Structure 1
Amino acid sequence: MNKSIAQGRKSSIRSPLGINAGGLIHTFLGTLGLYLLISKSYFAFDMIKYVGFFKLKNNKVVMDFEDENKPQKKGKSDFWVGFFTNTLN
């Protein structure tokens, strides 16, 4: 918003494109770093493999039907769900 007011339309279009391109590079380099770390460490690879195995083995599908007597969650919990989902991704 600051760019579009101060410098015009072209700058307001280019600025978010640069931000997104930087985010893609950041994600790529982070992924590359994790790949190199895991590929060089047998311990890290084995730990990820075993954690994934036990996660899949103990995966249980639970159907949670809404109960009319059950109190509904408020907006704060929605905020924290979104916050932790984005942070942990």
Structure 2
Amino acid sequence: MSHYPLFIAMAMLLIILPGPDTALVTQNTLTHSRKGGFRTALGISTGILIHTLAAVLGISAIIVKSAVLFSIFKYAGAVYLIYLGCMSLWSTRKKGATREEAPPYKGKSGFQQGFLTNLLNPKVAVFFLTFLPQFLDGGSNTFLQLLMMGLTYGVLTFAWFLMYIYLVDRINAWMKKPSTQQWIGGVSGLVLIGFGVKLVLEKRQ
């Protein structure tokens, strides 16, 4: 794979761009410390691996070409993002009114949120079908190349979020202030809702 180094460089640039995944990891790290952020990142990376398998097996192409399937995934993903955003805003408002500590962390919730947010986003499937093929070598096994690039993208995503979670946790003293948490929780909620609305308005390409 002669284009592999270029693929890694381009993938890292795309990974660090803020999106719904970043908003979700930030929110869960602030609310539930590193454990919550870690499980969310693991869920996101698992979603990426599922998209990778779907792409190499041709399932993503079927979803993208089918208006009905694409719409189902699009609206399901949008509703879930908006739901998470509304829950974040509601939680922020409730904590602001009662000054209660965050509830004990439930291990599955962060993983589930990260996994479903990524899995139900059909734009991720479109991304894999349009981005990865640009780095294929004509003389090599296409299946193995796509699989390797998808796995690499998942690992790079997880590695980036581990560093990001560590950074957020390091400045936790300031971030844990009630006023700061309310502000960030509100912003995260609005960002998630915004991405959900954006996903609804996205057109199939």
Tell me which interval the TM-score lies in, with the shorter structure as reference length: 0.3 to 0.5
- TM-score normalised by length of structure 2: 0.22
Larger Rg: 1
- TM-score normalised by length of structure 1: 0.45
**Structure with bigger RCO (C-alpha 8 Å, 6+ apart):** 2
